[in-house]
Amino acid sequence: MGYIIFYIIVVILYIVLRCGRSDTSTQIFFGVKWSDWEKKKEPDDPEKYGWLARKLHESNVRGAERSRRRKEELRQMKEHNAQLREVIRLQKEEKRKKKEEALRQRKEQK
């Protein structure tokens, strides 16, 4: 029973939103015409469109900034990991050389 009511509500909302696309109340609420909104997801000048377009633009700008920051942090982490690997490699090589030197000295003493 609940599914039927949910389906009816969804159909009614679809009809209302679909038929009311050129309605002035929709235009006032969203600040843009639906046809313009569908053509242009992120306007070049969000100020001349409605508040929803401005919010979308601001959200996209923040998302791009977050993405750029994450990429920069990832690059720095990779660089740091590479430096640590290099330090570990040098330490292992130094340890190996010390062992070889100690073995050579033992052989010379015998």
pLDDT digits (tens, 9 = 90+) for 62-100: 999 999 999 999 999 999 999 999 999 999 999 999 999
Residue 21 lies in a domain: yes
Q: Where are the alpha helices (DSSP H) in 20-50?
A: 24-30, 34-39
- Mark whether 101 and 57 lie in a shared domain: yes
Are 82 and 53 within one domain? yes
Query: Is residue 103 over pLDDT 80?
Result: yes
The answer to whether residue 72 sits within a structural domain is yes
**65 and 104 share one domain:** yes
Instruction: Specify if 37 maps to a domain.
Output: no
Angstrom distances, CA of residue 58 to CA of 34, 54, 109: 20, 6, 76
In this predicted structure, the answer to whether residue 53 has a pLDDT above a threshold of 70 is: yes
pLDDT confidence bin for 28, thresholds 50/70/90: low
Both tokens of 17, joined, read 């939103």
Give the count of domains, the chain: 2
102, 55: one domain: yes
Indicate whether 104 belongs to any domain.
yes
pLDDT of residue 27: 54
Please, what is the average pLDDT of the chain?
80
At 12 the pLDDT is 84
The confidence band for 30, taking pLDDT boundaries of 50, 70 and 90, is low
Mean pLDDT to the nearest integer, 34-56: 65
Question: Are 20 and 26 in contact, with CB atoms under 8 Å apart?
Answer: yes
Domain membership of residue 36 (yes or no) is: no
- Structural domain including 73 reads 43-109
